[in-house]
Amino acid sequence: MTRTANIAWFAERAAAERPDAVAVAVPAGRDRSGRLTYAQLRNRELHERAARIARGLEGSGIGRGVRTVLMVRPGLDLTCLVFGMLRAGAVPVLIDPGIGRRHLKRCIEDAEPEAFIGVPSAQLARLAFSWGGRTVRRRVTVGSRVVGLGPTLADIERLGERLGPGEPAVTAADEIAAIVFTSGSTGPPKGVVYRHANFAAQIEALRDLLDPRPGAVNLPTFPLFALFDPALGMTSVIPDMDPTRPARVDPRRIIEPIQDLGVSVMFGSPALLDAVGRYGVAHSVRLPTLRTVLSAGAPVSPQIIERFSSLLAADARIETPYGASEALPVASISSCEILADTRHGTDRGAGVCVGRPVPSISLEVIRVTDEPIATWDERLRVADGGVGEIVVKGPQVTDAYFHAPHHDRLAKIRDADGAIRHRMGDLGYLDGSGRLWFVGRKAHRVVTPDGPLDTIPCEGVFNTHPAVKRSALVGVELGGATVPVLVVELEAGARRGNRAAIVAELLAIAAAHGHTRAIRRVLFHRAFPVDVRHNAKIGRERLARWARTMLRGSAE
> Beta-carbon neighbour count of residue 431 at 10 Å?
15
- Could you tell me if residue 410 is inside a domain? no
Bond before 329 cis per omega within 30 degrees: yes
State the pLDDT at residue 187. Answer: 75
Mean pLDDT, the chain, rounded, equals 94
- Could you tell me if residue 494 is inside a domain? yes
State the pLDDT at residue 556. Answer: 44
On the question of pLDDT at 462 being above 50, the answer is: yes
Can you tell me whether residue 366 is helix, strand or coil? strand
- Could you tell me if residue 139 is inside a domain? yes
The last residue of a domain, from among 156, 171, 186 = 171
CATH of the domain at 68: 3.40.50.980
Pick the range with the lowest mean pLDDT from 147-156, 275-284, 437-446, 489-498: 489-498
- Could you tell me if residue 338 is inside a domain? no
The last residue of a domain, from among 152, 171, 190 = 171
Beta strand 322-324 with 327-332: parallel, antiparallel or unpaired? antiparallel
- Could you tell me if residue 155 is inside a domain? yes
Angle between helix 120-129 and helix 101-111 axes, rounded to 10 deg: 90
- 335-394 pLDDT, tens digit per residue, is 999 999 999 999 999 999 999 999 999 999 999 999 999 999 999 999 999 999 999 999
- Could you tell me if residue 176 is inside a domain? no
- Could you tell me if residue 15 is inside a domain? yes
State the pLDDT at residue 553. Answer: 67
Rounded Cα distance, 540 and 209, in Å: 31
Q: Strand locations in 415-507, DSSP E?
A: 420-430, 436-441, 446-448, 451-453, 468-478, 481-490
Tally the domains of the chain: 2
The last residue of a domain, from among 171, 197, 218 = 171
- 181-220 pLDDT, tens digit per residue, is 998 777 789 999 999 999 999 999 999 998 888 889 999 9
The amino acid present at 100, given as its one-letter code, is G
**Cβ atoms of residues 245 and 261 within 8 Å:** no
- Tell me the whole-structure pTM to 2 decimals: 0.94
Of 124, 126, 135, 141, which Cα lies nearest the Cα of 95? 126
Q: What is the DSSP letter of 397?
A: B
**Cβ atoms of residues 383 and 405 within 8 Å:** no
On the question of pLDDT at 555 being above 80, the answer is: no
Q: What percent of the chain clears pLDDT 90, i.e. is strictly above it?
A: 84
Rounded Cα distance, 521 and 519, in Å: 6
> Beta-carbon neighbour count of residue 211 at 10 Å?
11
- 493-546 pLDDT, tens digit per residue, is 887 778 999 999 999 999 999 999 999 999 999 999 998 888 889 999 999 999
- Could you tell me if residue 102 is inside a domain? yes
Rounded Cα distance, 474 and 426, in Å: 16
Cβ contacts of residue 153 below 8 Å, gap of 6+? 53, 77, 81, 117, 140, 141, 142, 143
Which residue would you say has higher pLDDT here, 514 or 227?
Answer: 514
CATH of the domain at 512: 3.30.300.30
Give the residue numbers spanning the domain of 79. Answer: 3-20+39-171
pLDDT band of residue 147 (cuts 50, 70, 90) is confident
Rounded Cα distance, 436 and 356, in Å: 6
